Structure 1
Amino acid sequence: MMRSRCMSLAATALAVLLAGCAQLGGQPDPATSTGAADVPVFSPEAAATPMPCPADVLQQAPGTRCLSGRDSAGAFYLIALPAGWQPGQGDLVLHAHGGPSLGAPTLARTVEDLQRWAIMPRAGYAWAGSSFRQGGVAVRAAAEDTERLRQLFVQQVGAPRRTLLHGQSWGASVAAKAAETYTRDATGRRPYDAVLLTSGVLAGGSQAYQFRLDLRVVYQALCGNHPRPGEAAYPLWQGLPAGARMTQAELRSRVNDCLGLDQPAAQRTAEQRRKLDTLTQVIRIPASSVFSHLSWATWHFQDIAEHRSGGGSVFSNEGVRYTGSADDEALNAAVARYRADPAAVARFAADTDLTGRIPVPVLTVHGIDDPTAFVEMDDSFRRTMVAAGTAGHLVQTFTAHDTHSYLADPVYPALLDALQAWLSTGQAPTPQAVADRCEALAPRFGPGCRFQPGYRPPPLATRVPERTVGPK
């Protein structure tokens, strides 16, 4: 009887231990696992080629070695190994880049990524990044390319002690998609130990880009030159008509004619100032980001319409009331209205939206005044993970930065240190602990932490009007 009771207690203790490991990615988590291996096994790749590391990377991390190649799917990749890095002892940051880029993949893209993220090898991490095999708004394909690169790294360099999956901007949705899709291999191991999402586009494609349709219709109501009178009319959710070509310079010329963006504010005409003020107040973006968002609402929308949605609209502004202009009634009467195609939305959402079923620790950071990916998207992501039952895997942090592509050097080692401690102790970090760690690292990595531990983002609907999808 006593032996039986002891065995029962031991079994209970083991179950508790395994449950704790599940929170850290060591064992399958019932809330996030189907019970079957979901990591594909890719064929061995051709050997990577040694290449000179970019000079600025070597300046930050002397002795770093670089390897590059093109994988069997057509994606270019770049690997950076800091001095002294050894398999089984060193850790890997597996990077998913932002954008997305359009057009054919290039090695130059991965070189630029490594230059931006040279802080990773400087902090002692191996770094690997893929160009992805295709341009365009294709999240699942990019997630697959990222996992392929992880396996290539293991085959050709060696298995790291830990793999930390990092997604930046649009790449944050790629990394989150990879983390929820590839949760364990045939041996039961997690491919990724933890996930870092920075400045993330995390509201899902079906919601994250709706405000860019708002930008297109309000811009057209004010400016009337994209398209111009006399040019072929098309629904603005298409970005451009199928097969149409326009250069960045041509679009910039149109925007400057209407808004005077390339001129000092004092040199803009009264009409240009009025229209620019209306646009920025209604869409709630700074003037400095108008052209970038309008570009994405041109060429990314064209990519979505031609290649991702089956030709239907994934965007809608039915029932949206635009406010903030001098005459909201006139503005709302002037803007074009579009209804989303439910089948197109479902197709696009299946590729770009997230389930939140991520079985390992996830740490995010976002500048509160990010002009490119609104900080409110982090509230959407939190709600997604709450709905998936994985909110305990998520810690979100925020900074006072008003930039998107890069915050500050000490921010990222602090976040990685927090993930490492979480994995080692099983205790999730607090935002205050991350802020404190950043300040502790500032003497080594420089200033710029600016964490705001008490900040919580409002819902995305407070910034981007909610809308209906498909027939009422």
Structure 2
Amino acid sequence: MKNTRFSLAAFALLGSAALQPAHAAPGVIDAPQVATCPAPVPEATRCYTGEDGAGAFYWIAIPRDWNRVLVMHAHGGPETGPPRPQRSEDDLKRWAITVKAGNAWAGSTYRRGGYGVTMAAEDTERLRQIFVRHFGQPRRTLLHGQSYGAGVAAKAAELYAPVHGAKSPYDGLLLTSGVLGGGNAAYDFRLDLRVVYQYACGNHPRPDEVQYPLWTGLPMDSTLTRADLAARVKDCTGVGTPVAQRTPEQIARLKTILSVVKIQERSLLGHLTWATWLFQDLVQKRLDGRNPFGNVGVVYQGSADDAALNAGVARYAADPQAKGALAVDSQPTGRTALPTLGLHAIDDPTAFVELESAYRSIRDAAGTGELLVQSFSSEREHSYLSDSEYPALFAALLDWIDKGEKPTPESLAQRCATLKARYDTDGKNGCHIQPGWQAPALDSRVPPRNP
């Protein structure tokens, strides 16, 4: 993708041919280079690094007793800085369990920092082609998307679907802690956070600073740092100091923000950071300064005085073209023939578990709901769940592909229990899948927008 700015014309074309690859993969400028595998990747694993010819870096790991299954990993984020080789190495270390289970692993940094789901899907496919070119065709290839990467993997599953009788390069899809349903649905609440935070605190921006629409994230010439933002949050809400040291005013302001936006204290600063620098990248660099997020007509609830809150928060109308461009880039159509498994922590502090219901609705509307099995765990984490759960999901997905044995949340929990002794070596993880649990509707967590 030579032009990394969202193009409405290009997205309209992509939307009319959503099952076709968006672009041909550029040529590769060098072969994978042998590298020393980082711990905790198992010993005797072969590791390689390289650059994909389009600006993305990658790591590849192939275990000694490779089972001929390749797991293409789409990482979370996105990062707002330029691509870093260290990012892919860090992903490999975090997901070493994939290699311990006998699978090869490959992960791209994506070709540039910032938002771009379709771009990242293309980068993932380019890396898969590099792997096949240098290491041969795997028996099976699975797409594993984590967090933001789950949206990337869902998009890749649709972009590289079978065309004119050709087989898809992917055999199955695993989505964990997924930011699903498209960027519009996933990030609306961060506009809510910006306007509610500003109503309560009034320091982002401060009254003596340049005032700007909060959906722009931050002016491009701003010198605000992440440490500065943390200091402002601490000053307003007391976050970062012991509860006993917070003033009554700080406690009241924090309660308003958390209750109305329905987030946890531990994730407040993280969400506000994304709603600052990611919004800056998305809106000003990718959408030509147009606003994809709106809150006109949204009714906020949960404060001590909701009438005053709703009268006092800033209101913005979304630009239809910007909203459409973001949707075409990031929102899945649901049109995929790949067996799909999902795992999401019920108390995920970063990606609302209710996003799973949005993805379920998309798959059901597309007629592919029967190919989606979602599971939920009683964990309170986002970036990584139990060691035992991932091998169970990989194995269940392969049995579904190879044997036609569609898993259920109950069978996933049972399979995890059988693998616990092998993979839960430190006794700290275990299996936490809750078979009877279902995700509530996203509207129960994020107030609905006007049509």
Match of 1:81? Answer: 62
Find the aligned partners of 2:266 and 2:21 in 1 and give their Cα distance. Answer: 46
Task: Find out whether 1:449 has 2:431 as its counterpart.
Answer: yes
* Unaligned segments of structure 2, at least 5 residues: 1-16
Q: Secondary structure at the match of 2:299?
A: coil
Match of 1:15 in 2: none
Match of 1:104, SS? coil
| Matched residue, 2:27 | 43
- What does residue range 265-280 of structure 1 map to in structure 2 within 5 Å? 265-280=243-258
Change (3 A) 1:63 1:185: farther
Aligned partner (choices 269, 272, 275) of residue 297 of structure 1: 275
1:334 Cα deviation from its structure 2 partner:
1.5
Change (3 A) 1:434 1:211: same
Give 1:305 deviation, angstroms.
1.0
Structure 1 position 413 matched with structure 2 position 391: yes
Supply the distance in 2 between the matched residues of 1:338 and 1:354 (Cα, whole angstroms).
25
Amino acid corresponding to residue 462 of structure 1 in structure 2: S
**Residue 245 (structure 1) shift:** 3.4
Contact 2:76 2:147 in 1 (8 A): yes
Which segment is superposed worse, 347-356 or 182-191?
182-191
TM-score of the pair, normalised by structure 1: 0.89
Residue pair 2:26, 2:54 contacting (<8 A) in 1 also: no
Q: Contact conserved, 2:19 with 2:160, CA < 8 A, in 1?
A: no
Cα root mean square deviation, aligned? 1.7
Alpha-carbon shift at residue 56 of structure 1 (Å):
2.2
User: Distance in 1 between the 2:313 and 2:390 partners?
Assistant: 42
Please name the residue that 1:167 is paired with. Answer: 145
Cα shift at 1:242? 3.1
- Looking at structure 1, the residues matched to 216 and 39 of structure 2 have their Cα atoms a distance apart, in angstroms, of 41
Structure 1 residue 196 corresponds to structure 2 residue 174:
yes
Q: Evaluate the alpha carbon distance shift between residue 264 and residue 180 of structure 1 in structure 2; reply closer, same or farther with a 3 A threshold.
A: same
- C-alpha separation between the residues in 2 aligned to 1:121 and 1:186? 34
Deviations 1:108-135 (A, max 9, x none): 0001101110101111110000000011
Distance 1:35 1:262, change over 3 A: closer
Aligned to 1:211: 189
Distance 1:224 1:391 in 2: 45
Distance verdict in 2 for CA 1:41–1:109, change over 3 Å: closer
Matching of residue 308 in structure 1 with residue 286 in structure 2: yes
Tell me which residue corresponds to 1:131.
109
For the structure 1 residues 373 and 361, does the alpha-carbon distance in structure 2 shift closer, same or farther, using more than 3 Å as the test? Answer: same
Alpha-carbon displacement from aligned partner over 1:242-296 (angstroms, at most 9, x marks no partner): 3433211111111111011110111111111111111111111110000000000
Change in 2 beyond 3 A, CA 1:41/1:105:
closer
Instruction: Give the SS at the match of 2:292.
Output: coil
CA contact (8 A) 1:396 1:431 kept: yes
Q: Which runs of 5+ in 1 are unaligned?
A: 1-32
Query: Which whole-Å deviations, capped at 9, do the CAs of 1:11-56 have from their partners, x for residues lacking one?
Result: xxxxxxxxxxxxxxxxxxxxxx999788845534411111111122
Q: Which residue of 1 aligns with 2:440?
A: 458
Aligned-partner Cα distance in 1 for 2:291–2:28: 40
- Aligned partner of 2:409 among 407, 413, 431: 431
Identity of aligned residues (%): 53
- Aligned-partner SS, 2:342: strand
Closer, same or farther in 2 for the Cα pair 1:41/1:277, shift >3 Å? closer
* TM-score (ref. length: structure 2): 0.93
| Residues 124-169 of structure 1: CA deviation (Å, up to 9, x unaligned) | 1100000000111100000000000000000011111100100000
Aligned length: 432
What is the rounded CA distance, in whole Å, between the counterparts of 1:460 and 1:432 in structure 2?
24
Give CA-to-partner distance per residue, 1:155-200, whole Å, 9 cap, x none. Answer: 0111111001000000000000000111136771211000000000
The verdict on how the C-alpha distance between 1:459 and 1:239 changes in structure 2, with shifts beyond 3 A counting, is same
3-state SS of 2:40 partner: helix
- Report the equivalent of 1:90: 68
Residue-by-residue CA offset, 1:307-354 (whole Å, 9 max, x unaligned):
222321111111111111111111112111110010110111111111
The equivalent of 2:239 in structure 1 is 261
Local SS of the residue matching 1:56: coil
Whether the 8 Å CA contact 2:72–2:107 is kept in 1: the answer is yes
Question: Is the 1:69–1:77 contact (alpha carbons within 8 Å) kept by the matching residues of 2?
Answer: yes
What are the Cα deviations for residues 342-373 of structure 1, in whole angstroms up to 9, with x where unaligned? 01101111111110111110100000110100
- Cα pair distance change 1:414/1:228, threshold 3 Å: same
After TM superposition, give the deviation of residue 201 of structure 1 in Å: 0.4
CA–CA separation in structure 2 for the residues paired with 1:39 and 1:448: 42
What amino acid does structure 1 have at the position aligned with 2:439?
A: P
The residue matched to 1:69 in structure 2 has which SS? strand
Q: Which amino acid aligns with 2:444?
A: T
CA distance in 2, matches of 1:41, 1:305: 26
Query: Partners in 2 of 1:179 and 1:267 — Cα distance?
Result: 50
Q: Alignment partner of 1:55: what SS?
A: coil
Per-residue CA deviations over 1:442-464 (Å, capped at 9, x if unaligned) read 01111421101111111100110
Give the aligned partner of residue 25 of structure 1. none
Output the amino acid matched with 2:52: D
Give me the whole-angstrom Cα distance separating, in 2, the residues matched to 1:108 and 1:428. 37
Counterpart contact for 2:28–2:52, Cα < 8 Å = no
Check conservation: 2:20, 2:161, Cα contact below 8 A. Answer: no
Aligned pairs (5 A) from 1:319-358: 319-358=297-336
CA contact (8 A) 1:308 1:348 kept: no
Provide the residue aligned with 1:375 in structure 2.
Answer: 353
2:162 aligned residue: 184
SS, match of residue 154 in structure 1: helix
Amino acid in structure 2 at the alignment position of 1:138: G
- Between the aligned partners of 1:304 and 1:351, the Cα distance in structure 2 is 12
Bigger CA radius of gyration: 1
